[in-house]
Chain A
Amino acid sequence: DAGITQSPRHKVTETGTPVTLRCHQTENHRYMYWYRQDPGHGLRLIHYSYGVKDTDKGEVSDGYSVSRSKTEDFLLTLESATSSQTSVYFCAISPAGGINEQFFGPGTRLTVL
Chain B
Amino acid sequence: EDQVTQSPEALRLQEGESSSLNCSYTVSGLRGLFWYRQDPGKGPEFLFTLYSAGEEKEKERLKATLTKKESFLHITAPKPEDSATYLCAVQDHNQGGKLIFGQGTELSVKP
A contact residues vs B (CB 8 Å cutoff): 1, 4, 31, 40-45, 48, 50, 58-59, 90, 92, 94, 96-107
Contact = CB atoms under 8 A, between A and B. Distances in A.
Given A41-B103, A48-B98, A100-B97, 19 more contacts: A4-B43, A40-B103, A42-B104, A43-B87, A43-B99, A50-B97, A90-B44, A94-B97, A97-B96, A98-B97, A99-B51, A101-B34, A101-B46, A101-B49, A102-B46, A102-B99, A103-B46, A104-B45, A105-B43
A44 B100 CA distance: 7
A95 B19 CA distance: 34
Nearest to B6: A42
Contacts of B36: 104
Contacts of B98: 45, 48, 58-59
A43 B97 contact: no
Nearest to A109: B41
A31 B101 CA distance: 18
A107 B32 contact: no
B23 to A, nearest CB: 12
Contacts of B43: 1, 4, 90, 92, 104-107
Contacts of B91: 99
- Output the residue of B34, B44, B46, B49 with the most chain A CB within 10 A: B44
B31 interface: yes
A56 B42 CA distance: 26
Closest 5 pairs between A and B when the two form their complex, measured CB to CB: A97-B97, A104-B43, A43-B101, A42-B103, A42-B101
Nearest to B4: A42
Interface string B76-111: 000000000001010100001111011110000000
